[in-house]
Amino acid sequence: MVEPRLVEDYHSSTASERHIPEHPIFWDETLRDGEQTPGVHFSPEEKLRIAEVLSDIGIPILNAGIPVVSEKEARSVELLAHAGLKAKVLAAARTVPADVDAVIASGATHIAIFVAASNVHLQYKLKMTQDEVLAASLKTVRQAKAAGLHVAFVTEDTVRAPFDFVERLYREVQEAGADRLVVSDTVGIMTPLTFRWYLQEFRRRVQPKDLSVHCHNDFGLATANTLTALECGVIAPHVCVNGLGERAGNASLEEVVLCLESLYGIRTGIKTERLYELSQLVEEISGVPIAANKALVGYNAFSHEAGIHTHGILAHTLTYEPLQPQVVGRERQMILGKHTGKAALVEKLKERGITASEPLLTDLLQRVKTETEARSKSDLRHFLKEYRRLFEHPGLTDVEFWTMVDSLGIRAVAQ
């Protein structure tokens, strides 16, 4: 007799429509875009701590930052570039020759040259024409190639720019020597179906040798759009640990990696069992708490309280878990609370070799429910109040800013 399959897997039915590279190249943005999370800043030594773990778990490319930003940022990039990491160290630059010079001086082997592409950016931010953007892009790409750097060319807001301009810009920078082209969904407005069309059209028009994507999470679609890009054959997805980044963040490293590993059956080469360790390190250094319900690394991701769920998990973990917690370096937790059932209590009592009668189990269960329902929420409310105070305005307060202004003697000028 043939044993029935415990779960049905329909992913194989769409395999012919996918063109995922056999060896995706994860481009980590935690130290650059992740640091641009409001209120987050990393010292050079903190960047090195994160970079060492990223490199050790198998991430091949790290964006160390933008060295022209400050002396400390330049020192960070230089520190990572000379740290002997297995990962390639990349630094970013605007289409400004001095920016490229700063990357060259840092010792980084890879550069990401970026410029805005959409009309709203060109008109209101850069105040440049399309021809001026193209000229600056070509000049700096050639400058970086002449210095022997691996060059990635990135446009901000690619997907909201006129496609004719996108085609012309990317074609010409590729002809000028750009090794990798990066398409950005800077404000996260793509949906998977639309992004599939866009990337297919981009390939048809531009014919990139090497394609990468940078997806933001403004509508919660960064991971889904990044997976769509991989299905379209994109080789280098941008990711951030814990989904950090500007505003709502970037595609989450742990989500993209585990989706490929567990849902698509792609061996990424990443040591997934260290992803939780990495997540905790970035939480500690960034100061940004991981959401309790964050996929894979959130504190509740492998926790079970409801009686039906704990009973199912104790019978077979596949009932309510898509993968074993050990895959990401986690442990399963059975939470005792209002929704607990007897099965969880029986399992808990086994820790001390105790077996309770049915009446005693019933009494114990009632006490557990009563105790947890009666607990005060004052500590939690205090925590939330402090959390909101810290994260609603993570930078300088108004008092700190105006004190700084006064100390510099800046005064209003009569009109």
For the stretch 329-346, pLDDT in tens is: 999 999 999 999 999 999
In degrees, rounded to 5, the angle at the alpha carbon of residue 106 between the alpha carbons of residues 139 and 76 is 125
pLDDT of 103-113, one tens digit each? 999 999 999 99
Residue 309 phi/psi, 5-degree rounding, is -70, -45
What whole-number distance in Å separates Cα of residue 198 and Cα of residue 263? 24
pLDDT of 113-127, one tens digit each? 999 999 999 999 999
Are 55 and 86 spatial neighbours (Cβ–Cβ below 8 Å)?
yes
Domain with CATH 3.20.20.70 in the chain: 17-286
What pLDDT was estimated at residue 1?
A: 61
Are 226 and 272 spatial neighbours (Cβ–Cβ below 8 Å)?
no
What pLDDT was estimated at residue 415?
A: 65
In the predicted structure, residue 65 carries a pLDDT above the cut 80? yes
Q: Helices 71-81 & 97-106, crossing angle to 10 degrees? A: 40
Percent of the chain with pLDDT over 90: 91
Residue 75 phi/psi, 5-degree rounding, is -65, -35
pLDDT class of 410 with cuts at 50, 70, 90:
very high
pLDDT of 372-381, one tens digit each? 999 999 999 9
In one-letter notation, the amino acid at residue 388 is: R
Considering only CA atoms, which of 112, 77, 118, 72 is closest in space to residue 92? 112
What whole-number distance in Å separates Cα of residue 172 and Cα of residue 134? 8
In one-letter notation, the amino acid at residue 350 is: K
Average pLDDT over residues 360-389: 93
Considering only CA atoms, which of 54, 100, 44 is closest in space to residue 239? 54
What pLDDT was estimated at residue 107?
A: 98
Rg value, the chain, Cα: 25
Give the homologous superfamily in CATH for domain 17-286.
Answer: Aldolase class I (3.20.20.70)
What pLDDT was estimated at residue 240?
A: 98
pLDDT of 266-322, one tens digit each? 999 999 999 999 999 999 999 999 999 999 999 999 999 988 999 899 999 999 999
What pLDDT was estimated at residue 393?
A: 85
What pLDDT was estimated at residue 395?
A: 86
Q: Provide the Cα torsion 100, 101, 106, 107; round to 10°.
A: 80
What whole-number distance in Å separates Cα of residue 139 and Cα of residue 137? 5
Are 42 and 91 spatial neighbours (Cβ–Cβ below 8 Å)?
no
Mean pLDDT of the chain: 95
Q: Provide the token pair at 407.
A: 């100390």
Average pLDDT over residues 191-204: 98
pLDDT of 67-116, one tens digit each? 999 999 999 999 999 999 999 999 999 999 999 999 999 999 999 999 99
What whole-number distance in Å separates Cα of residue 407 and Cα of residue 61? 43
What pLDDT was estimated at residue 390?
A: 86
Are 364 and 372 spatial neighbours (Cβ–Cβ below 8 Å)?
no
Residue 112 in 3-state DSSP?
strand
What pLDDT was estimated at residue 74?
A: 98
Sign of CA dihedral 20, 21, 22, 23: negative
pLDDT of 148-174, one tens digit each? 999 999 999 999 999 999 999 999 999
pLDDT of 10-30, one tens digit each? 988 888 889 999 999 999 999
Are 221 and 192 spatial neighbours (Cβ–Cβ below 8 Å)?
yes
Are 91 and 105 spatial neighbours (Cβ–Cβ below 8 Å)?
no
What whole-number distance in Å separates Cα of residue 52 and Cα of residue 316? 37
pLDDT of 139-149, one tens digit each? 999 999 999 99
pLDDT class of 2 with cuts at 50, 70, 90:
low
Contacts of 389 (CB under 8 A, 6+ apart): none
How far is C-alpha 269 from the chain's CA centre? 18
pLDDT class of 258 with cuts at 50, 70, 90:
very high
In the predicted structure, residue 133 carries a pLDDT above the cut 70? yes
What pLDDT was estimated at residue 5?
A: 86
Quickly tell me which residue has 């981009």 as its tokens.
202
